[in-house]
Structure 1
Amino acid sequence: MATNMDGDKIDPITEKPIVSATVTSVTADSDPGALESDTAKPSRDLKQAIYAIVGGVALPCIPIIVVSAVLLYVIFKHRIVPREGWPDLYVATAKAATGNVTTLIKEIRHQGGNAAYYVEYNPSTITTIASWTGRVIPYLSSSIMALVAFFAARHIVIKSKHGDHTQLPTPEQLTLLISLLGGSGFGPLKETALYRWGRKEKLVAPLPAAFAALGVITLLGLIIPIVDTWFGVATQPVTITQLYNTSTKAYHSYGRNLDPGTTDSAICPDGPGYQAGSGSSGQSWWWPCNLFTTIPHPANIFLQGAVAVADLQLSGTTNDMLSNYTGLLSSDSTQNQTMFFYADSRSSKTLDFKAQTLGISTQCIIATTTCGYIDTNETDYQAFKCSDGFGGDVSYCYPNVWPANASESGLGGCTTGIGYATDAQLSSAAPMVNFTDADGLSETEIQGFLQQNPTYFATWGIGFPALDSRLFLNGDDQVFPNSSSQATWILNCSSTVYDVTYTYVNGALHSFNATVAEPVWGAFFSAPFTWSWLGGLMPAKLSLENAAYFAGSKASTGAEMATLWAQEYSKAALQLSVGVFQPLVNDIEQIRNSTISVARIPMVPLYLLLGFKFIYVIVVILLAIGAYCFTHPAETEVVKAQLSVQGLAAAHFDQPDLVRKNVVQEVQSRLELAKNGGSPTSDTPAGQPLKRAATEPAMGSAPAGEATEEPAKVGLMPTCAGTWKFVLLADGAWQSVKPIVQTLVLNEAKDGKFGAIGDAYAAWK
C-alpha cells in the first residue's frame, strides 16, 4: 500500500491518509468497567450538575410563577365583590335559558361561563399580563428536556456498566433519543412514532420516557396558549352595580305617617281622629284630624294643611307624591287591583329602600239602572232609590234629600254627589248629626262619619260627558238612561285603606305588602267628601267633579268609566289628607351605584389557565427533584452532555473537549487546520486538527460484508482521561461510534446548520 511523505498509508480509492486508532480487543461478555486497566474513574462535577438542574427548573418555572402571581395579585387586589345587599332589597338576576347547543357554545367561548370575578382594572392590561407566559412557553421545552436527559444518561450508564446490551439503544434509536432530548417540538415526536410504527421495533427504556415527557411538555405548550387566547377573548369590560350600606342615622325619610304636631300645635296627636263634643246636651261625635274648625258651625270647616294639599293636587313644589301598584293586594284577593299610596318624589335609582305608608284601593260598578233612576220629560224628576234607606236626588250633593214635590227636583245645584252607606248593598245611609244644636245657632244636621274599612258609598254625576255620547258604545243606557241626551249616572263603590310596606329598588317598585288598616281610617279619608258641599271643603267638591270629568272623557263604556272614576277617587282621597302626614324614616336602605366600569374575568378560563401552568411547573419540579435524587447528577451530568449533537460531534472526531465548547466555532477552526495540515505538535486540543475516530473493525468482529445476527447497540464506557466515550457493541465487541454521527452531524452540516463548516466538512470527509 502506498504511503505519503509523512509515512502515512494512503487509501487507493479516496487517496486520503488512513487514520487508525488503537482498539482494545473485547468480547460481548466483557465487563465495560474493566476494558482498560489503566482507566481513570470518570470525573464528577456536582456543581455543574446542580447548575444544570437549577437552570432547567428556573428558566421555565420562574417566569410562570412570577407572571401568575402578578396576575392573581392584580385580580384580588382590585377585585370588586358585588354585594347582594339587604335580603328585602335583593333583585335576582335570572339568566335567560340557553335555547340550543350552538348558543351555549358561543356563550362559553365568548363569555367563559357565568362564574366570574369583577376587577376594577383595565381588561387589556390583565389579558396582556396573562399572555406573557403563553408566548414563551412553547420555546422552553429544550430546557425541560435537559432534565429528562439526566434520566436517559443514567439509564445508558447503568446498562453499559452491567453489560446489558439488550437495554441499550441502537444507533437509530440513539439518534431519535438525542432528537427528543433536543426538545424541538413535534418533529422528534413524529419521527419517533413513524420509526416505531414502521420498524415494529421495540424502543428501549429511555426512548418511551423521553417521548412521553416531550409529548406532555409539547401538549401543555400548545394548550396553555390556546386557553390563554380564550381567556383574552372572554375577559371583557362591563358595567356592574355595587351596593353600599349606610348608617341608620343617615337614613332618608321616604315613608309617611300622621304628624303628631307639637305641644303648642297638635295636629293628629291621638291618631286619625278624636272624640269631640258640642252643646250642653253633651252630644259627641268622632272628629277627623284632617279637618279643623274654629267655631262649631258647618261654614267654618276647612282642610288641615291646605297648602300641602294644593301643592300635591296642582303639581307644585313638594316632596309628596302618589305612586300606584296593580296586583293581588292580599292572599284573599282573586283578581288584580290598583292601589295608590303616599310616596316621596326624592326616590331615585341611586337609593334602594324599604318604607311604610298608607294607600287606598277603590272599586266601582255602574248602578244607574239598579238604583232605579227616574227621569221623565214631563216633570224633570231626577230621583233615584238604591234601597229604602238610601236614595235622593241627583242634583243634590248628598243622599236622602227628597224634594217636597216634583217641581223642586233637580234644583239642588250639584253636578256631582256622594253618600256613604253602611254596607255594599247601600241598605242605609250614614246617620245625620246635629252639629250646632247647643250653641243657639240654626239647627243644622249633616251626615256623620262611618268608622268602617272598607267604606261603601254611591256617587252620581250629571253632564259627564257633556252632551256627547259618541265615545260610548251603542249609547250606553247606564250613562244615558232612557235615551236621554244628558249623561246621568250612578256608581256603587267601595274603598279600602291599607297599611303599606313597600321596597323601592333601582328606580322601581320592587315588592309590595298591604294589610287592611283599622276601621277608623275609613272615616278619616272619607271625611272631606262627606262634607264636600260645605264652602270650606271646596277642594273635595272639585275633586269629585274632576274625577267625573276625567272618567266621562276617557271611557267608552259605563264599566270603564266606573273603573277610571274609582282610580281618581283613590288619588283624591290621599291628596285631600296629605297635609296631616309627615315623612317617616325608611326601615332599611342601601346606596346603589350602577356605573362601575370593571373587567369581567371568567373563572373557568382563568383557573384552567392557572391549572395548566401549575401542572407545567409541577412536572418540571418533579423532574428536577428526580434528576437530583435518583440519577447521581455529579456523574450523570458529564454523560448527559454526550446526548446531544455536540456530544456526537466530539465522539465522531474523538475530541471530548468539544462537548462544553461552541461546536460550530471549534469544528470550523479545526477543519481549517485539517485542510491546511494543522499543527500536529500542538499540546492543546484547539491547536490539533480533527481526527477520524477509530473505524477499523475491532478484534473479534465479523469480516466486512457479513451480516451480524443482532443489531448493534450503543453504550458508554469510561476512558483513560476520566471521561465517557460512546462505544458500539457490534459483532459481540465494543468499538467507537462513528456511524451514529452520520445521521445527525453530517446531515446538519449538509443542511447548512453549521454554516460554512458544512461545505468544508463535506469536502474533508
Structure 2
Amino acid sequence: MAVAASQAPSLEATARTSAEAMARPRHVDGSSCPGRAQQTQPQTLPESEKFGPTTAPSHPIEGALRDIYWALSCISLPMLVLTATFMGLVYVYRVSHGPGATGSSLSSPLVDDSNAYYVNYSATRLITVSSWTSTVTSFASSFVMALVSYPIAKCYLSRSQALSMEQLPTPYQLRLIIGCVGGGFGSLWSWLQYCFWRHRSKQPTLLWVSALSLLGAGALRYVKVLGQSYETDRWTSFAILAVDTWLHVTTSTISYDAISPVSQPSFNYGRTMDPSCHGETRASGVCIGNNFAGLLYFESLTNATETLMNLSSTNIVLPCHLDGRDLAYLTAADRHPDLDFQAKTFAMSTHCTPVSKQCDLQAVSWCPFPQGCNSQVQLARGMPYDCGPTLFGGLANNTGTPFNSSLLDDSQAGISSGIASTNGFFLQLFRKPNFSEPFGTAPDSPNPFYFATGARVAASAALAADPEAVQNNADADYGFIFSCNSEFFELDYKMINGSFAGGTTTPVDGTLASNAVFTFIYYLSYTQNVMEGAFISGGVQSNNSEQFANFLAQRFSETTLSMVSGLTVASPNIAEQTRERLLVTRLPKAPFFVLIVLNLIYALLGIILAIIALASQPRRSRSIQARLSIGGIIAAFLEPEVHEAASASKKSNSGIEGAFAEYYNDSELSDEGRVLVSDRAGNVAFEKIQPQTKAEISTRNSDEAAAHASPALLDEEPTTETEPTRLESSPTSSVAKRKPVAYGGDSRDAGTA
C-alpha cells in the first residue's frame, strides 16, 4: 500500500486529537528549548495548518545512556590519555642544569633556557605524540554532535507537541539539521549558502543550534540549551591545531651536556711537590741535580724537555687568566674529555715592563782603528745599555754584568755572559726588584723573584714606532730590554667542559723558585732557545711594547713551569663530575603549556556536554535523537511498521538499525524488500518492493495458463496485445509497493552523514 509522506509515523505516539491540540492553550517552556523564554498563549491555526497525529505507535529506540557514555569516552578519554602520555614523556625524560643537578662542589657554568624544557627523547616521536591530540579533535566532531543531539531532540519534540509553527523547520531546514547532527562539515557549507538565499524562510533556533554546535565541534563556540548558556573557548579545537603547529615549528634538536656527579673521584689530575724535594731551598737545587765533584746531572731533564716541547704524555702547561693577571698552570696531559674536575696544582704569574729607555739602550758606532777609519764600513757598531751597577753591557756583543760571588764562581753567576747568541739575548736573575741582589749572592731563592731580559729582533711596523724600540743603526732589527717579576702559586682550580673555569691562588715557599733558578743558571741552553724564539715571535706579532712585554711574560711562565714539572707528582682530584653529550629535544614552554590547557578544556567540554545530554531526558528523547539522521528519514518513508517484528525478536533495540525490518530477519516476520530507483518527472524517486513468494508465483502461472485456454480469449483478434499483469498496492497483492519518496539530499550530505 502506498504510504504518503503525510502518513509517515510520527516521532512520538500521542493519543490526543488534532481538535484538542488546536483548542487548548499552548504552553511553550523556554527552559527546554534553545533561545526561548517561557510563554503561554492560545493560538488557533488556520485550517490549512492544522494537522493531527497518527495513531500508529512509533518504534521505540533504546540505549540512550550507553550512547552518551560512549560519546563521552570517545571525546574525553583519548584526550586525557594522550595529554597524560605527552606530559609524562616530557617530565620523565627531562634533563636540567639547574641548582642541585650535579650534587657536587663543581658549579656548572651552563644555564638552561628558562623558556624551554630539555627532553632526552626523540623530537620526532615526542612531536608525534603531541600531534595525536589535534588528530583526536578532528575525529571527535561526530561524538560531540551525538551529545548535542539529545537536547536538540528534546527541544524539537517539545515544540512539535506545542505546534509552535514559527519554531519548526522547513523540509530543507530539516535536511540541514540532519546533516549538522550527523557531524558532516559539508553541511556547514550548505548552511552558509542557505544563509544567503533570497526569500528563504526564517531559520528556527533548532537550525542555528545545530549549525553552531557542529561549528563548535571544530571551534567549540557555545551550546545554549535548557535556557542556559554554556560558554567554552570559541576556537579551542582550531586553537589546538594552531598551537600544535606552533609546537612543531619551535621544537628543535640540540646538543646538550648531561651532568652526573661522581661520589668518589678516581682521577689524578692535580700536581703536588715530590716529597723528596720539600725543604730544598738552596740555589744549587739539590732536588734537581747535584754538584759534587763538579758533576752536574738533571734527573727530571727528559720529562721537563718533553713538557717544554709540548710532547709529554704526563704533563702539560696551559695558560689562563685569573683575578686580573695571566697565569700558566701545570695539569695532566691525558685528561678525560668528558670529565669535569676540581684539583690543586702549581701555577706561575709573570709581569714584564719595557725599560729600554730607562736602561739608556742606544745604538752607537765608533772607529776601532788608531789611525782612523776611511769609510763607514770600517766603523764598529754597538747597542750598549746601563740599567745600574748590577746590570749593564751591550746587545751587540752579548756582554753582561761581571760580578763576584762568594758562593758561586763566575760560571755559576746569575748572568748570561759567555752564552753565544745571534741576537744579543741575555737573561739575568735578581732576588729583589730594581735589579738588586743578583742570584748567587745569597744561599736561597725567594718567591717572587725578578729578572731582566733583552735582545735584538725584527719588529712589526707598529712596534718599530714604539718609543721603547731602539733601532740598531741601519739594520732592520730593534733592541728591547724588559724588567720582569715572577711568582709561584698553589692553584685550586676547576676544569669544566675542557676549559679553565676559575679558581683561587695561594703563594708558596721558595722551593720551586730555587729549583727554577737552578735550571736557568746551569741549563740556560734549554730555556734560551725558547726565550729567543719568544723574542722573535713577539717582535712580529706585537703592535706595541706593552703587548710585547705581556707575550714574553707568558712564555717565561710556561717555560719555567715546564722545567720544574719533573719535581711534581700526580695528586687526586678534589671533585669530579661526568659530562655526557646528548642530542635532546628543546621544547618551548609556551606552546607546551597552552596545548596542555586546551586539551584539558576539550576533555572538560565532553564532560559538560555529557551532563547536558543526561539532563535532557535521554530515554524519552532517544527515539527522536536517533531518527534525526538519514537512516531515520529512510526508515520513516520506506519501511513498514516493524513493531511486531521487534517484539518477536531477541535482538537489542538500541540503534536506528532497529527501525528497519531487515534487522529482525531472524524472527518469523522476515523482510526481503528491495529499493529501486526510477527517473520520473521531478526528483529522483525511490520505491520499496517486496518479491513474490513461490506459492504466489505458482498461482499466477496457473491463472495465466487457464486464461490462455479460455475460448473467449481465442476468439479475440490476434493483434491485440496482452496487457501485463499490474502489481496492485493492496495488502493482498503479490507485490507490495510503497509510495515513491522524493529525496532531495545532495552529494555533500551523502558524504558527510
The C-alpha deviation readout for 1:516-563, integer Å capped at 9, x for no partner, is 614x34x73255436744xxx22x343135413441465158936544
TM-score w.r.t. structure 1 length? 0.65
CA 1:197/1:498 → structure 2, altered by over 3 Å: closer, same or farther?
farther
Q: Which residue of 1 aligns with 2:507?
A: 517
Say which SS state the counterpart of residue 253 (structure 1) adopts. coil
Superimposed CA distance per residue, residues 556-603 of structure 1 (whole angstroms, 9 cap, x where no aligned partner) = 589365444333321222122212212232232211122x34455554
The counterpart of 1:626, out of the listed 605, 612, 618, is 612
In 2: Cα distance, 1:234 partner to 1:165 partner: 55
1:296-336 alpha-carbon deviations (Å, 9 max, x no partner) = x8x456556334323323444431100012x4x43xx4xxx
CA–CA separation in structure 2 for the residues paired with 1:751 and 1:663: 26
Q: Distance in 2 between matches of 1:138 and 1:676?
A: 49
Aligned pair partner of 2:277 in 233, 243, 267: 267
1:636 and 2:621 correspond = yes
Instruction: Provide Cα deviations, 1:658-684, integer angstroms capped at 9, x if missing partner.
Output: 9644599978279243994345159xx
Aligned to 2:258: 242
Distance in 1, matches of 2:468 and 2:239, equals 81
Q: Is the aligned partner of 1:690 residue 2:738?
A: yes
Structure 2 vs 1, CA of residues 159 and 36 (structure 1 numbering), >3 Å: closer, same or farther?
Answer: closer
* Counterpart in the other structure of 1:494: 485
Q: Distance in 2 between matches of 1:356 and 1:134?
A: 57
CA distance in 1, matches of 2:347, 2:318: 9
Cross-structure match for 1:702: none
Q: Secondary structure at the match of 1:425?
A: coil
Following superposition, the deviation at residue 610 of structure 1 comes to 4.4
Q: What amino acid is aligned across from residue 456 of structure 1 in structure 2?
A: Y
Do the aligned partners of 1:119 and 1:601 also contact (CA within 8 Å) in 2?
A: no
Distance 2:23 2:735 in 1: 39
Take 2:600 and 2:351, find their aligned partners in 1: how far apart are those partners? Answer: 69
Q: What is the distance in 2 between the residues matched to 1:661 and 1:290? A: 109
1:668 matches 2:675: yes
Give CA-to-partner distance per residue, 1:105-127, whole Å, 9 cap, x none.
Answer: xxxxxxxx952442434x44444
What is the aligned partner in structure 2 of residue 680 from structure 1?
731
Residues 385 and 302 of structure 1: CA distance in aligned 2, closer, same or farther (over 3 Å): farther
Q: How does 1:328-367 map to 2 (within 5 A)?
A: 329-330=322-323, 333=324, 337-367=325-355
How far apart are 1:343 and its partner, in Å?
Answer: 1.9
CA distance in 1, matches of 2:587, 2:735: 62
Give unmatched runs, 5+ long, in structure 1. Answer: 1-5, 9-15, 96-112, 261-265, 275-284, 403-409, 433-445, 693-741, 756-765
Cα distance in 2, alignment partners of residues 198 and 608 from structure 1: 43
Alignment of 1:90-129 (within 5 A): 90-92=108-110, 115-121=116-122, 123-129=123-129
Counterpart-to-counterpart distance in 2, 1:475 and 1:192: 85
Q: Deviations over 1:85-136 (max 9, x none)?
A: 45744233688xxxxxxxxxxxxxxxxx952442434x44444444456446
Where does residue 743 of structure 2 map in the other structure?
746
What letter is aligned with 2:626?
A: A
**Is residue 179–residue 749 contact of structure 2 (8 Å, CA) maintained in 1?**
no
Tell me the equivalent position of 2:308: 313
In 1: Cα distance, 2:105 partner to 2:196 partner: 66
- Please state how far the C-alpha of 1:362 moved relative to its aligned partner: 1.9
CA distance in 2, matches of 1:643, 1:346: 80
1:429 aligned residue = 437
* Structure 1 residue 234, shift from structure 2 partner: 4.8
The 3 A distance-change label for structure 1 pair 392 and 672 is closer
The answer (yes or no) to whether the contact 1:32–1:161 under 8 Å persists in 2 is no
User: Are residues 458 and 527 of structure 1, via their aligned partners in 2, closer, same or farther at CA, if it must alter by over 3 Å?
Assistant: farther
Supply the AA of the counterpart residue of 2:256: I
1:586 to 573, 586, 601: 573
In the TM superposition, what whole-angstrom CA distance separates every residue of 1:204-233 from its partner, at most 9, and x where no partner exists?
554444333222112255554454455455
Q: Which secondary structure does the structure 2 equivalent of 1:429 belong to?
A: strand
TM-score of the superposed pair, with normalisation by structure 2: 0.66
CA contact (8 A) 2:176 2:187 kept: no
Q: Does 1:322 align with 2:317?
A: yes
Aligned-pair CA distance for 1:349: 3.0
Residue range with higher mean Cα deviation, 386-395 or 351-360: 386-395
Cα distance in 2 between the residues matched to 1:580 and 1:267: 7
Once residues 565 and 303 of structure 1 are traced to their aligned partners in structure 2, the CA distance between those partners, rounded to angstroms, is 26
- Give 1:505's aligned amino acid: I
Q: How does 1:143-158 map to 2 (within 5 A)?
A: 143-158=143-158
Q: Answer whether contact 1:447 1:530 (CA < 8 A) is retained.
A: no
Q: Which moved more, 1:373-382 or 1:351-360?
A: 373-382
The one-letter code sitting in structure 2 at the alignment partner of 1:569 is F
Aligned positions, number:
604
Aligned-partner residue type, residue 450 of structure 2: Y
- 1:563-602 equivalence runs, <5 A: 563-594=550-581, 596-602=582-588
> 1:606 offset after TM fit, Å?
4.5
How far apart, CA to CA, are the structure 2 residues paired with 1:411 and 1:420? 9
Label 1:754 to 1:360 Cα distance change in 2 as closer, same or farther (>3 A): closer
Q: Distance in 2 between the 1:642 and 1:547 partners?
A: 101
Please name the residue that 1:50 is paired with: 65
- What is the deviation of 1:72? 4.8
Contact 2:341 2:577 in 1 (8 A): yes
CA distance in 2 between partners of 1:124 and 1:588 (Å):
37
Taking only aligned residues, the RMSD between alpha carbons, in angstroms, comes to 5.0
Contact 1:145/1:181, CA 8 A, preserved across alignment: yes
Is the Cα contact below 8 Å between 1:293 and 1:300 reproduced in 2? yes
Letter in 2 for 1:244: S
Superposition deviation, residue 190 in structure 1 = 5.8
Q: Give how far 1:633 is off.
A: 1.5
| Maintained 8 Å contact 1:255/1:344 | yes
Structure 2 unmatched ranges of 5 or more: 10-15, 28-50, 220-235, 369-379, 406-414, 644-655, 663-671, 677-685, 691-725
Aligned partners of 1:580, 1:638: CA distance in 2, in Å? Answer: 99
Aligned counterparts, 1:119-198, within 5 A: 119-121=120-122, 123-132=123-132, 134-135=134-135, 137-161=137-161, 168-169=168-169, 173-185=173-185, 187-188=187-188, 191=191, 194-195=194-195
- Seen in structure 2, the aligned counterparts of structure 1 residues 400 and 476 have a Cα distance that, compared at 3 Å, is farther
Q: Which moved more, 1:659-668 or 1:345-354?
A: 659-668
How much has 1:632 moved relative to structure 2? Answer: 1.5
Q: Distance in 2 between matches of 1:397 and 1:600?
A: 66
Aligned residues of 2:269 and 2:332 also touching (Cα < 8 A):
yes
Q: 1:393 to 1:602 in 2, by over 3 A?
A: closer
| Percentage of identical aligned residues | 19
Q: Which residue of 1 aligns with 2:211?
A: 211
Q: Which amino acid aligns with 1:151?
A: P
Distance verdict in 2 for CA 1:399–1:618, change over 3 Å: farther
Superimposed CA distance per residue, residues 340-384 of structure 1 (whole angstroms, 9 cap, x where no aligned partner):
211221224311222322222223334345334697757899975
The answer (yes or no) to whether the contact 1:422–1:450 under 8 Å persists in 2 is yes
Q: Which amino acid aligns with 1:179?
A: G
CA contact (8 A) 1:525 1:577 kept: no
Secondary structure, aligned partner of 1:370: coil
Q: Is the 8 A contact 2:186 2:748 kept in 1?
A: no
Indicate the residue corresponding to 1:724 in structure 2.
none
Q: Deviations over 1:3-45 (max 9, x none)?
A: xxx9x9xxxxxxx999999984345333799x99997998876
Matches within 5 A, 1:230-629: 230-232=246-248, 234-250=250-266, 252-260=267-275, 266-268=276-278, 270=279, 273=280, 290-293=287-290, 295=292, 299=294, 303=298, 305-325=300-320, 327=321, 329-330=322-323, 333=324, 337-372=325-360, 377=366, 385-388=386-389, 391=392, 400=403, 413-415=418-420, 417-421=426-430, 423-426=432-435, 428-430=436-438, 446-453=441-448, 455-460=449-454, 465=457, 473=464, 490-509=481-500, 511-515=501-505, 517-518=507-508, 520-521=509-510, 524-525=512-513, 527-529=515-517, 532-533=520-521, 537-538=522-523, 540-552=524-536, 554-556=538-540, 559=545, 562-594=549-581, 596-628=582-614
CA offsets, 1:725-745, max 9 Å, x none? xxxxxxxxxxxxxxxxx9xx6
- The CA deviation at 1:151 is 0.4
